Amino acid sequence: YHDPNCKDNRVAMVHLFEWKWNDIAAECERFLAPMGYCGVQVSPPNEHVIVDGYPWWQRYQPVSYKLESRSGNRQEFINMVERCNNVGIRIYVDAIINHMSGTGRSGKGSGGSDFDADEMHFPAVPYTIADFNGCGGCPACCCINSWTDVAQVRNCRLLGLTDLNQALPGVRQKIAGFLNDLIDIGVAGFRIDAGKHMWPADLKAISELTNDLNTKWFPAGRKAFFFYEVIDLAQVGEVRAQEYTGIGKVTEFRYCIKIDDVAGGLWGIHGLYDPGWGMVESTDAFVFVDNHDNQRGHGGGGNVVTYKNPRKYKVAQAVTLGYTYGHPRVMSSYEFTTDGQGPPANGDGSTKDVVINADGSCGNGWVCEHRWQAIAGMASFRKAVANANTIDNQRTEGNKVAFSRGGRGFVAISNEGSWSGTFQTGMPSGRYCNVIRGCPNSNGGCNGAEPVTVNSDGTASVSIADWDNPIFAIHVEAKA
Ligand code: QV4
Ligand code: CA
């Protein structure tokens, strides 16, 4: 349950937030596979409520487990999983299993199913009132008021969302049935939404009901990857991330705060992983610079760097993908100005296609951080150094840092203007491309810059001069 099931040495995951299945399938083939990404976290694929104005968060209110959502239908989902797996890119599903829709909502979901949340009537699963937690032990609102009352956090309603009782065998079976449908289609794992709001023992029982992965793409006997969304900012008395490390990896939200600090002051890189603050160990940590919640002030927002600050964002991603702590996910956003704003939409409310401009950037309001050369280049770097779990030749000078990764890659980052000189890269001699500028091309050179020569003693002449891209990175899989 801890293994992301990546193909070969691929590592980096990208969250293609609110993308449609057909666009994701194309992106796997045309970009993610060649750039060395491992997989995609997709938006919740199941039927959801439809809210006026189509905010993104309507998809966090399930109506059923039918694969009919704003991103596409079941057949489109199946096609995406097949096309992505066929080029070695894994699909991870954002699974909403803590709750169904919020109270006060009823009617038809995105797949046409009837529901009535106040009655806890979700006939397309089916769930009835008996499948939900009652309000015993909860405040009068039945909601979560005290975040240090662990039973309340797990048994009462998060944001008024009708709370399933995962202790019941029937509920466990239905959730596992949903996960197994996805596993049989070929997904590689799950982000378990609102993990904090479910008991680890119940989650363990549910994961033990899941099938092995589809042997069309995975070795026999492999289990799905589980990573749990648990926001632990070390508040005394609250749920701890460590309660979940026995059943999968866990989101490390303290990392978002740390990396924002470190990207502003690179001298702090030694403290990126801070066990004294209660951060989980590297092998248990699922890390990201920002996520779909905290980039817009939801779920532990504040003190995070996003696409709106591109230079700092690239530095933060370069450290995240270049360093060794945790399993990394890259956020891929759409432009927004208000927190509830949904994805780019057509007049009828349907999601706009992702269009790719001639220069490789995205149009139609899609930001596509994962395509920024500095970030995509670092995704390829992470693949090249995947089996080199050491940091060597680290050199920290003021607000600048350089290090190599076990002879497989070398990175230098400057946060205070140009930085040039001779560096020990620890790499075999040869001609390499600075992947922050561009990849090797078919003429034996590099796109975007001249090749870099590493001498037989491992030294190279390195120069960082571009204020907006203050990073230099070479690795053994990008030779000129
Ligand atoms: C409103 C009132 C409530 C009232 C309720 C009554 O605010 O006080 O009880 O009506 O019905 C939306 C609205 C919210 C509304 C709720 C229910 O924003 O105002 O409640 O719907 O109708 C996303 C959004 C939420 C959104 C939710 C459901 O962030 O704003 O709520 O989807 O549509 C904690 C948790 C953590 C969680 C984080 C947001 O520990 O687990 O809060 N993060 C995950 C997801 C997140 C998602 C959910 C959980 C819920 O990452 O995106 O919330 O699935 O930190
Ligand atoms: Ca719960």
Q: How many residues does the chain have?
A: 480
Sign of CA dihedral 435, 441, 446, 448: negative
pLDDT at position 376: 98
Residue whose Cα lies nearest atom 19 of ligand 1: it is: 159
Of the candidates 401, 424, 417, 394, the residue with the CA atom closest to the CA atom of residue 468: 417
From the CA of 42, how far away is ligand 2's center (Å)?
23
Which atom of ligand 1 sits closest to the CA of residue 196? 40
Task: Tell me the residue type at 390.
Answer: T
pLDDT at position 300: 81
Q: Which of 47, 229, 284, 369 is catalytic?
A: 229
From the CA of 98, how far away is ligand 2's center (Å)?
5
Residue whose Cα lies nearest atom 41 of ligand 1: it is: 194
pLDDT at position 341: 98
- Count how many Cα atoms sit within 13 Å of the Cα of residue 115 in the half-sphere of its side chain: 33
Residue whose Cα lies nearest atom 50 of ligand 1: it is: 60
Instruction: Tell me if residue 193 is catalytic.
Output: yes
Structure token digits, residue 218: 């995975």
Which atom of ligand 1 sits closest to the CA of residue 291? 51
β-pairing, 225-228 vs 430-432, is unpaired
Query: Can you list the residues of the chain whose pLDDT is less than 50?
Result: none
Over residues 330-359, the pLDDT tens digits come to 999 999 999 999 999 999 999 999 999 999
From the CA of 234, how far away is ligand 2's center (Å)?
20
Burial class (CB in 10 A: 0-12, 13-18, 19+), 443: exposed
Cα–Cα distance, 34 to 15 (Å, whole number) = 17
Q: What is the DSSP letter of 29?
A: I
**Contact at 8 Å (CB) between 64 and 122?**
yes
**Contact at 8 Å (CB) between 196 and 153?**
yes
pLDDT at position 273: 97
Which helix (H) or strand (E) segment is 254 a member of? helix 253-264
Model-level ipTM above the cut of 0.95: yes
- Verify whether ligand 1 is closer than 6 Å to residue 103 (CB atom): yes
pLDDT at position 301: 74
- Count how many Cα atoms sit within 13 Å of the Cα of residue 311 in the half-sphere of its side chain: 11
- 3-state secondary structure at position 345: strand
Q: What is the pTM of this model?
A: 0.98
Q: Which residues of 445-463 are buried (b: 16+ CB within 10 A; e: fewer)?
A: ebebbebbebeeebbbebe
Q: Which residues of 179-192 are buried (b: 16+ CB within 10 A; e: fewer)?
A: bebbbebbbbbbbb
pLDDT at position 302: 77
Residue whose Cα lies nearest atom 38 of ligand 1: it is: 299
Q: Which of the listed residues 56, 159, 286, 304 should we mutate to test ligand 1's pocket, taking the one with most ligand atoms within 8 A of CB?
A: 159
Over residues 241-270, the pLDDT tens digits come to 999 999 999 999 999 999 999 999 999 999
φ/ψ of 297, rounded to 5, equals 80, 5
Of the candidates 352, 355, 428, 412, the residue with the CA atom closest to the CA atom of residue 71: 352
Residues with CB under 5 A from ligand 2 (ion): 98, 154, 163, 197
Of the candidates 358, 352, 371, the residue with the CA atom closest to the CA atom of residue 23: 352
Whether omega for the bond prior to residue 126 falls within 30 degrees of 0, making it cis, is yes
